[in-house]
Structure formats: C-alpha cells, structure tokens
Amino acid sequence: MNAPVKQHLIDPEICIRCHTCEEACPVDAITHDENNVVVDASLCNFCMNCIAPCPTGSIDNWRVVATPYSLEEQLSWMELPEQEDLPAAGEGTSGTIEAFDDEVAALLAEAHKGAGGAAKAPASASKPSVNLFTNANPAIATVQGNYRLTAETADADVRHIILDLGSTPFPVLEGQSVGIAPPGLGAQGRPHRMRLYSVSSPRDGERPNTNNLSLTVKREPGGLASNYVCDLARGDQVRLTGPFGSTFLMPNDPQANILMICTGTGSAPFRGFTMRRQRALAGPSGGMTLIFGARTPESLPYFGPLKKVPDALLAKHLVFSRVEGRPKEYVQDRMRAEKDRIAALIASENTHVYVCGLKAMEIGVESAFEDIARGAGLNWRTIRDGMRHSGRYHVETY
C-alpha cells in the first residue's frame, strides 16, 4: 500500500461555485467543470491561501488517503467520501488530520497516545478547522490580559492569557490547541520550534461574540516558550499558528455525559467545555463531572471561578495531594472513591471520557478505570476500546 497522504478536498454539497478560491490559489491547483470545483492533489501545497476567502467553508476539507482522489473522481461527486480508516501520514495513530505541520502532528500523536489507539472525534462534534495559520503566515494576536491564576504563595505560576484576534477570523473549537514559537533563534541559528497550548475559552470567545481566545499556561523553570508567554504584557503582539487538533473535541449532543479528569493546565480545555455547555444549553442535558488534581487549593488554576459553577451543570471533585494535615489524594484516588458512579458512567453509551494534563497521570487513571470496571464485573479494555472507536474516549497528555 502507498504511504498515506493528506488530500485537500472541496465539499460539493456546500460549495456555491463562486470560484473565489481559484483566484486565491497561487499555484492554480483549483479547477472546475460545469459540475464541481476541485483541487488537484499533485499541485496543492497546503499554503491555505484559499481558506479564508471562501464564503461557505466548503474549501476546508481534508482526508488522509492511500491514493489521492483524481480530478475525474472529484468532478463526479455529489458529496464528499467518508474518511477511510487509515493511519495518517506521519502520525501512525489516526486517519484523522490533526495538523498539517509534521512536527505538530507528531506532538499531537504523542499527546493522544495514552488513549490506546487511533483517536476519533465524537460523532456529534462540530467540524474543526485546522492549520489555517502557519509559521510562514501566522495570525497576529494582541495580548488583552495576563492574570496569575495561582496564589503568589503557590509553587506553580499558572497564567490566564487572553489574546485578541482583532479582525482576523481564527475559528477554534473547545479542545483545540494553538501554536506559539518563542521569538528569536536557537543555538544552531534556526528559529525555535513551536509549542502547543490548549485553548481554554469556548468557541465564541471569552465573552460571547468577542474575537478572542484564552490560554492557561504554566511557567516552566528554564522553559523557553512558557516563560515567553507568561511574561507577555497587555498590548504585546504574538504570532499564533493553528488551530490544531481534530479529535479532542466536545460532543454537541446535549444528552452526552462528560467525565473530565485533569491535573494542572490540563484543565484548559475543560474550562472551554464547561463554558460552552453553560452558554449553549438552555434545556436539560447529560451531566458533566470534573475530577481535578492539584497540590493545594492555592495551586489549582481557576479555583475561585470553578467553585461558582452550579453543581447542576458540573459535579466538581477538587483533589489535593499536599494539604497539611490531610492525607494525600490524587485523581485516581477520587475515581476509586466514586467507583459506583464511575462504573455507571463508563457502562453508558452516552458517556464521553476526557483525560488531560501531565503524562504522569495516565498510569494511575488507567489502573483506576481497570479496578473500577473489574469491581463492577466489566472489562475496562473492551469498554475503553469501544468508547475510543465511537469517539468517546480521549487522552491528551504532555
């Protein structure tokens, strides 16, 4: 079999045949007949020049294929083919395109590895845009605010950074990441490599319909990008790439039960998930449960605002491992303490599980799931693989 490649396609069901994309393409990769507008896979270099000008979004479609669809095939289509089940080029774990940049795709593949197999988006998730802005053509964002989330006395400096995109459309979904490279050159005289940061605001911005997004960034001692981001001041400009990620997304199904397990900055996407549900859902819905681990309440990002989220929307389990006079508790300990509820959740077809944070949390979480399932007469591996196949089990660890 040929090595899988990424292919750019146009959705014939949505395209209005305005030909704006043809004018925007610098390499004449887009052509049409009386039926369809199509992209020549042998010419397209993923420069993304055609994406923003398209009035319908139909141009923003991508597949991983063993053999690219020919122009003749595309011209005959009435609708887009489904994504085949293939390992993605350079990723090895998924037939879904998470990012076009191979370095970013590799970072995401590594981050999603803990799920135990190819990641899939929830069936009801909205369609994400990926890689609209590249290193060569980044979006320029202005820092609107930079607030410390952890107490001055806490051992970690975690910050909430709001980036304003001005008049640049930068569509993100909850759970996606953006790329930031520290400015300047490294020892070899090459630009520093890009780091990924999860978006912590919902798709419509920090406040509804503001063209901004937020990040939750922990300062790493000696870390190049995190210190650059944590030191940004209001009014500074930042070069953003992305958005990236097309699987760690939130189900739109209001009946979905969402179980979120995180430590530290792993809370970033879950802030976005919770705010999205809070804004989008007027009626009754499946529940949301958060198990969030930190050393102390002072070092738990969003501690104050989180406590104000109504329990009816979000069941909160804030778990601390270094509070004086209290036994150490980690997320896996709280999972075990809540075993009946978790067993009922993982046995349900409506449940979506998300694990996010430091890689070190994976082993404990996995073994807690195993024990809980066993205790309830269930097989965790079978359940987990089934959930993952149906886009209901997600791990993003770094």
**Interface positions with ligand SF4 (CB under 6 A):** 8, 10, 15-21, 24-25, 27, 29-30, 37, 39, 44-50, 54-56, 58-59
Pick the closest to residue 102 from 112, 90, 88 (CA basis).
Answer: 90
Please list, in sequence order, all residues whose beta carbon lies within 8 angstroms of the beta carbon of residue 296, skipping any fewer than 6 positions away: 154, 320, 322, 323
Residue 184 binding ligand FAD, by CB under 6 A: no
Query: Binding to ligand FAD (CB under 6 A): which residues in 222-241?
Result: 222-226
The crossing angle, in degrees rounded to 10, of helices 361-375 and 380-389 is: 110
Residue 145 binding target from ligand SF4, ligand FAD, none, CB below 5 to 8 Å by type = none
CB-nearer residue toward ligand FAD: 160 or 388: 160
Q: How many CB atoms lie within 10 A of CB 55?
A: 11
Instruction: Name the residue with the smallest CB distance to ligand FAD.
Output: 223
Name the residue nearer to ligand SF4 (CB basis): 39 or 256.
39
Give the relative orientation of helices 339-346 and 380-389 as an angle to the nearest 10 degrees: 50
Rounded distance, CA 299 to CA 24, Å?
48
Closest alpha carbon to 172 in 189, 155, 197, 143: 197
Please identify, among the stretches 56-64, 73-81, 85-93, 194-202, the one whose residues bind ligand FAD according to the rule CB under 6 A: 194-202
Q: Under rule CB under 6 A, how many of the chain's residues touch ligand FAD? A: 22
| Of residues 27 and 123, the one with the C-beta less far from ligand SF4 | 27
Instruction: Check residue 387 and give left, alpha or beta (phi > 0: left; psi -120 to 50: alpha).
Output: alpha
Measured distance CA(49)–CA(24) in Å, rounded? 6
- Rule CB under 6 A: say whether 216 interacts with ligand FAD: yes
Looking at beta carbons only, is 37 or 105 nearer to ligand SF4?
A: 37
Name which of 105 and 111 has its Cβ closer to ligand FAD: 111
The residue (of 18 and 280) whose beta carbon lies closer to ligand SF4 is 18
Minimum CB–partner distance for residue 215 and ligand SF4 (Å): 27
Given the complex with ligand FAD, which of 40 and 220 has the nearer CB atom?
220
Nearest to ligand FAD of 59, 107 (CB atom): 107
Check binding of 246 to ligand FAD (CB under 6 A): no
Question: Which of the listed partners (ligand SF4, ligand FAD, none) does 303 bind, with a CB threshold of 5 to 8 Å by partner kind?
Answer: none
| 387 in contact with ligand FAD (CB under 6 A) | no
**Cβ atoms 228, 182 nearer than 8 A:** yes
| Phi (first) and psi of residue 224, to 5 degrees | -70, -55
Among residues 108, 118, 163, 368, the one that binds ligand FAD under rule CB under 6 A: 108
Nearer to ligand SF4, 64 or 331 (CB): 64
Tell me how far, at minimum, the Cβ of 227 lies from ligand FAD, in Å: 6
Indicate which of ligand FAD, ligand SF4, none lies near residue 317 (CB less than 5 to 8 Å, by partner kind). none
Which residue stretch of 82-90, 118-126, 167-175, 216-224 sits at the interface with ligand FAD (rule: CB under 6 A)?
Answer: 216-224
Q: Which of 197, 270, 380, 393 binds ligand FAD (CB under 6 A)?
A: 197
Amino acid letter, 175? G
Calculate the alpha carbon distances from 129 to 3, 60, 263, 329 in Å.
Answer: 24, 7, 27, 38
Among 26, 189, 221, 284, binds ligand FAD (CB under 6 A): 221
111 binds ligand FAD, rule: CB under 6 A: yes
What is the rounded distance in angstroms from the CA atom of residue 377 to the CA atom of residue 343? 10
Shortest approach of ligand SF4 to residue 96 CB, angstroms? 19
Task: Measure the CA–CA gap between 265 and 30, rounded to whole angstroms.
Answer: 41
Asked if 81 contacts 64 with a C-beta cutoff of 8 angstroms, the reply is: no
For the chain, give the number of residues. Answer: 398
Residue 121 dihedral angles phi and psi, to the nearest 5°: -75, 155
Cβ(193)–Cβ(107) below 8 Å: no
Q: Residue numbers of the site for ligand FAD (CB under 6 A)?
A: 107-108, 111, 177, 195-198, 216-218, 220-226, 265, 268, 396, 398
